[in-house]
Amino acid sequence: MTTRTEKDTLGTVEVPADAYYGAQTARAVANFPISGLRPHPALVWGTLAIKKCAAKANMATGRLPGEIGDAIVQAADEALAGRFDADFVVDPFQAGAGTSHNMNVNEVLANRAEELLGGTRGVYGRVNPNDHVNMAQSTNDVFPTSLRLAALRLHAGLAPALAGLVASLRKKGKEFDTILKSGRTHLQDAVPLRLGQEFEAYAVALEKNLAGLERALPGLCELGLGGTAVGTGLNAEPRYIELVVAELVRETGFPLRGTANLVETTQNMDPFVACSAALKGTAINLVRIANDLRLLASGPRTGFNEIALPALQPGSSIMPGKVNPVLPEVTDMVGFQVIGADTVITLAAQAGQLELNVMMPVIAHNLLFAMDILRNTVLRLAEGCIEGVTANAERCRRYLDDSLGLVTVLAPYIGYAAAAEVAKESARTGESIREIVLARGLLEPERLAAIMEPYPLTSPGVPGKKV
C-alpha cells in the first residue's frame, strides 16, 4: 500500500496515499481494531451536517474566511452525497467522547477542501482540520449533537414502521372480531374473549409504545452545540451559537433548539436514556406479542393451533414438512438485543464524570443499532407474518366449549363455591359445565342457555342480566 507521511502533535504517521482522512484517523484505526465495524451512517451524516452548518455560521460571524468556508461547505455536500463513505473508518469502540470520530470527519473535509482550493491532500496548507473545520467546536458538543441528529433521522423511519405494525394488528383484530375463544391466565382456562380482542389489544399496546417514542423527541431536539469543551462556550461566539442551530434547522428540517444550560447538556445523557427506554419498552411488548403468536400457532396437531402463521421456510433439516414461526422467533431475538442495548446505555450514561460523559461512543453505537434492528423487525413482522395470519375458528370454539373458565359466568347465580364444585366435577369426569349444571338442577335450561350465550360474555356486564 502506497502511503503519505502526515504530522500531528505526537509526531509523524503513515497514511494511505489515496485516503481523505489523516494522521489522527490513522492512529485511531491502529489503536482500535475492536469490532471491525464502521461508524453508523446516520452518525456520519449528523456530523457532516454539523460541520457544514458550522462553516456557514462561522462565515456569517466573519471569523472564517469565505473562500475556506465555501470549500468546506462544498466538501461536506460531496460527503453527504456519499462520495467519501469509504473514508469514515473509525471503529465504534474508540477513545472516549468520540474524538477520533470527530477528527475523522474533520480530516476528510479538510483534505477535500484543500484540494478544491488547489492544494495537496495531507498538506493542509490552506485548510486545517482543527483550526477551520472544527472552528468554534469541540468533540464534546459535536458528538452528542451528531447522535441527536442521527437518532431523529432513524426515528423518522422507525415510527412509520411501528405504525404499520399497529395497523396490521388492528386489521386482524377487526377480521377476527366474531371468533370466540377461551381466554387463558396463568396458561390455564379463563373466561371467554374474542380472538379479535387479543389482536386489538396488541395494537393498542404498541400504539402506546409509539407514543412513548414520540415523547422522547423533544429532548433529542435540544442541542448543546456551542458549549464546546465543558459547556461554557469557550472559543464560540454567542452569535455563532445562535446561527449554527438555525443553520441545522434549515439543513435537517428538524425542530431543533438551543439549550438553556450548555453545561448541563454537555454533562447529561438523559435524552438518550429516555429514547433507549422507549425502545426497550417497545421491545418488551414485541417479545410478549411474538411469544403469544408462537403459542397460539403452536402445533399444528399437538399445540393450540388457534391461528396459522404464513409458512416462510422449511423448519427443520431432519423433520420433513416442519414449519416454524420464524418471524416471531427473530422478533424475540431482536427484542433481547434491544433490551441488552438499553442496559449498556444505562451503564454508560451513569458513568459520566464531572463535566463530560466519555462513554458517548458506546451509547451511540447501541442506540442507533437498536433503532435500526427494531425498525427492520417490525417491518418484517407486519409484512411477512401479521398480514398473513389466519384463524382456526373451529379449534377456537372447541376450546371455548371445553373451557373450565366458563363456570365463572355462573358465580353470580349459583355462588362461587357451587361454581367451583361444578368446575372440579367437570375436570374430574370430562362432562361439560352445561351438563353438570343441568344434572344438579342448579339452573333451568332456558336460563342457563341465556347466561352462557358466548358472545355477550366478551363484553362488560353480568351474563344473562338485562341492562
Per residue in 234-259, pLDDT (tens digit) is 999 999 999 999 999 999 999 999 99
Question: What is each CA distance from 391 to 297, 324, 374, in whole angstroms?
Answer: 9, 17, 27
448 contacts 436 by C-beta, under 8 angstroms:
no
Partner residues linked to 181 by β-bridges: 193
pLDDT confidence band for 466 (50 / 70 / 90): low
Per-residue pLDDT band at 467 (split at 50, 70, 90): very low
pTM of this structure: 0.96
pLDDT in tens, 308-359: 999 999 999 999 999 999 999 999 999 999 999 999 999 999 999 999 999 9
The three cell numbers locating residue 295: 403459542
Alpha-carbon gap, residue 207 to 37, rounded angstroms: 33
Are 84 and 112 in contact, with CB atoms under 8 Å apart?
yes
Cα R_g (the chain), whole angstroms = 30
Q: What angle do CA 139, 44, 68 make, to 5 degrees?
A: 70
Catalytic residues: 316
